[in-house]
Amino acid sequence: MLKLEEYYQDVILLAEGGMSKVYLATDKKLGRRVAVKVLSLSQHTQADEFNEARLLARFNHPNIVQIYDVFESNGHMALEMEYVQGATLQHYTKTHVLTTEQKVELLSHIADGLASAHSQNILHLDLKLGNILVNDQGVAKIADFGISQLEDSQTSRPHTSYGSLTAMSPEQLRNEMLDSRSDLFSLGLIAYQLLAGHHPYCEQADDGSDKSIAEQIKFQPLKTSAKRILDIPPALAQLIDRLLQYEKSARPSSANEVSQQLKQILHTFSYDNSEATLSLEEIALRDRAKEKAKTRKKRLSVTALFTFLMCLVVGGYWYWQETKPKVYIAALPVEFIGQSDIPNSHKQIVKQTVEDAIYQFLITSKNYEPVSKKEVKQTLASLGRTAKPSDISQSLQIDKLFIPTGECNNYSCTIQLELLGKSGKVVEFSERITVINTQISATFISVSQTLSKALNITDTSERLIDDNFNKAYSALIEQLHQENTVDIKLISQLRVFIRTYPKHYSLYTTYTKGSLRLYNRTLDIKIINELKEVLDSSPHEYKETLDYLANRTSLLLLLNKKDDIETLLSSYQGDNSNSYELLNLKGSIYQKLGKYEQAKASFIKAYQLKPTLIVLRNLVKIHAISGSFAEALHFADKALSITQKDHQLIKITADISLITGNLSRAIELYQTLVKSDSNNANYLTNLSTALSLIKEQDLSLDYATQAYRINEQRADIVLNYADALALANNDADRAYMKVIALLDTPSKPIDKLIKAQALAHLGYSIEALKLLQLVKSEAPELYELPFVSALIMTLIGDESSAIIQIEASLDSGWAVQFFNLKWFDPLCGIDEFHKLLEKHNYSERCSALN
């Protein structure tokens, strides 16, 4: 007997037939899960046994089960094959409610696999529902090539020896020479059974037995038509009828042709006509032919009544699910308290595992609407470290809040999980669990069980139970938190984890972030292709989550595939298709695409559904970016009424106040920021600019000098320092020359504008104008362009052009106070300048010069 334990570990018998046994095992060398098919050589010739291995070894196709290895010992042969975690198509249709579109997609997979086999002149000859495997991602794979043959080297061996009688073509049952169209007939039988729920020859067979059905296939054309199948497109019915033609010459010419037609049907599929269809139970046909005629009408009536009642029940449940109020829930990151000598890497492992367990539990729950980890993190950053749970709950607009804390020693950590109600003040649940620092699976399970108890719902999250996974994942978590240690080996390891645990959704986000980070460092396109493959093959349930949408768009943004992003956003059909979360995500994506109006619309709809702090911040940003400053300040005031510790929000508000001429507020906010961080060159530079507009030149120079000393290599900071020197009547030439040196060959439009200003201040008019013209052609919508153009035109003495650009600047939202700078003094003798000043209520601008 073949001793599988010599090659594998964790060997489990999956199935047993008359000719073979199939085991699930783990390859000792590679650590991967495989299916091992063991056959006895005494039952057939050795050549027959190696036929399957020889044929399968020629394949490497996503819709054909792949063979990895073959070996023989003690009169037995073993085929080591890809382990497909899923079910046969026959079983899959009984345990899943599939739409017509999903069924057509499965048929498309089978046709693709057949096309690959036929391209190498290989016929399957036993294609049936039981020989199609469907994995957890909903991908169909052709299996069991045991009686396959090469099309150009068929022998006298009967083709009906081992095939299934009800799955063969007429010519196969007649032992005639076969070609690829025999498999196409079998594909037609699969399609009919998948869509109608019964065999197409069932009605014309005498007694419904396999033998009777086979006799009809062998000698009689099919009398029924696929057009009788309810709710399928006419093009699909026509294709199935062609596949089931008695004469093979009337069938499609190739599997490739069938594949293309199925894809066309999928492409034009109408969602309105693809209602979910319940799979039919397998009907025992033997010895029931005599009763069929008498009971058909009664059975149809009962079935119709049952179906109608079921529709009422299912419809009512669906309506209740769709209309019941959403319960929003969030979880804070794990915070460790107390001191211990535990290595930081162990803390990070515990933290990551607890947070992954919470995330996996909540995202797979149908009872709650979890707030993304990203939004929680942003909200905490905005509120500050000392924020109270009640403030967090209010800012997130949630109903429940989990607060996990940890206290560790060298061996274990005690995790306390508290669940707070809507106010963020009442503790609804609290429990402490002790976990071993490096035992990920035990930690994951303990946290999941505790959450289940806290929320009184069943835990449906996927378990992590593989010890090898635990060790590898622990090392991986440690590496991921070190920026430069992400390498191809780590990414490959993550991909293996995903294959092993495809429903552990947090792995996909980790893999996406790691892959994008590695690609940005190496520019290896293979990394991107593998990321695309992983996301493409992820479970159907995961593709309905917003995490998938976010990860997919991150990839498409990197590839600059804007049209694909638009298609993805418009076609998203997940459970959150009308939710706050989706609208907020869409707004962020549209903002990155530069589609500001669409971004605004999405954020406003999200705010109407759930007025959170984060969507307020997003509304401030998008209105500021697009130049809608009044609206930006409106939302900024609302956000600042919630938090006074969000430095980014304060800076945006200060910047808008500066641009719109509310200089006192801008200066006050910048001073607040400088007090919080006196080494932030951006804060210091902007405060310097605001002070220069109210003629506080000495104080302005003081802040500009501080910023310059902090960062002498940033051209914009050096330019502001040079301007402050000039406005304070100091020599600024060396500083302007440094700007030019720093931007020797500027590539970004904004850098070209910075250099153009420095050139103009030094009298290099032609060079400045050339750069200005480049920016106008490259980025005509750049917000700074009209103001810088006005400044340069004034410096070179082109007063008429300067007036035109000043008017354009004022029209685009620039405050009139910016033209209080002394460089614009020469324009005070021009009537058009005075008219512009009067129009914007700043007629006193030139009075001091007269």
398 contacts 371 by C-beta, under 8 angstroms: yes
Tokens of 810: 């004022």
183 contacts 255 by C-beta, under 8 angstroms: yes
Considering 112, 126, 144, 356, which one is annotated as catalytic?
A: 126
Amino acid at 23: Y
Tokens of 363: 């995202």
Helix (H, G, I), strand (E, B) or coil at 409: coil
Q: Kindly calculate the radius of gyration of the chain based on its CA atoms and give it in whole angstroms.
A: 35
Q: DSSP class of residue 458?
A: -
Burial class (CB in 10 A: 0-12, 13-18, 19+), 44: middle
Tokens of 346: 């162990």
Pairing between β-strand 122-123 and β-strand 140-142 as defined by DSSP bridges: unpaired
DSSP secondary structure string for all residues of 8-41: EEEEEEEEE-SSEEEEEEEETTT--EEEEEEEET
Q: DSSP class of residue 816?
A: G
Cβ neighbors of 447 (< 8 A, separation 6 or more) are: 353, 354, 357, 358, 361, 415, 417, 433
Place of tokens 């120079």: 701
Rounded Cα distance, 214 and 201, in Å: 9
Tokens of 705: 């000098």
CA distances from 484 to 512, 518, 530 (A): 16, 9, 20
CA angle 8, 12, 15 (to 5 degrees): 120
Helix (H, G, I), strand (E, B) or coil at 142: strand
Rounded Cα distance, 82 and 289, in Å: 42
Residue whose C-alpha is closest to residue 282's, from 210, 176, 338? 210
Rounded Cα distance, 803 and 809, in Å: 10
582 contacts 574 by C-beta, under 8 angstroms: yes
Rounded Cα distance, 148 and 186, in Å: 14
CA distances from 519 to 488, 525, 530, 541, 554 (A): 10, 7, 11, 27, 13
Buried b or exposed e, range 695-717, using 16+ CB within 10 angstroms: eebebbbbbbebbbebbeebbbb
Strand partners, 39: 20, 77
Tokens of 119: 């391209």
The residue count for the chain: 850
Amino acid at 2: L
Rounded Cα distance, 15 and 271, in Å: 38
Return left, alpha or beta for 305; rule: phi > 0 is left, psi -120 to 50 is alpha, else beta.
alpha
| 287 included as an active-site residue | no
Cβ neighbors of 657 (< 8 A, separation 6 or more) are: 633, 663, 665, 666, 669
| Residue 149 backbone phi and psi in degrees, to 5 | -140, 155
Residue whose C-alpha is closest to residue 292's, from 224, 216, 205? 205
Tokens of 818: 């910016």
Rounded Cα distance, 697 and 694, in Å: 8
The 3-state DSSP composition of the chain as helix, strand, coil percent (nearest 5) reads 60, 10, 30
Catalytic residues: 126
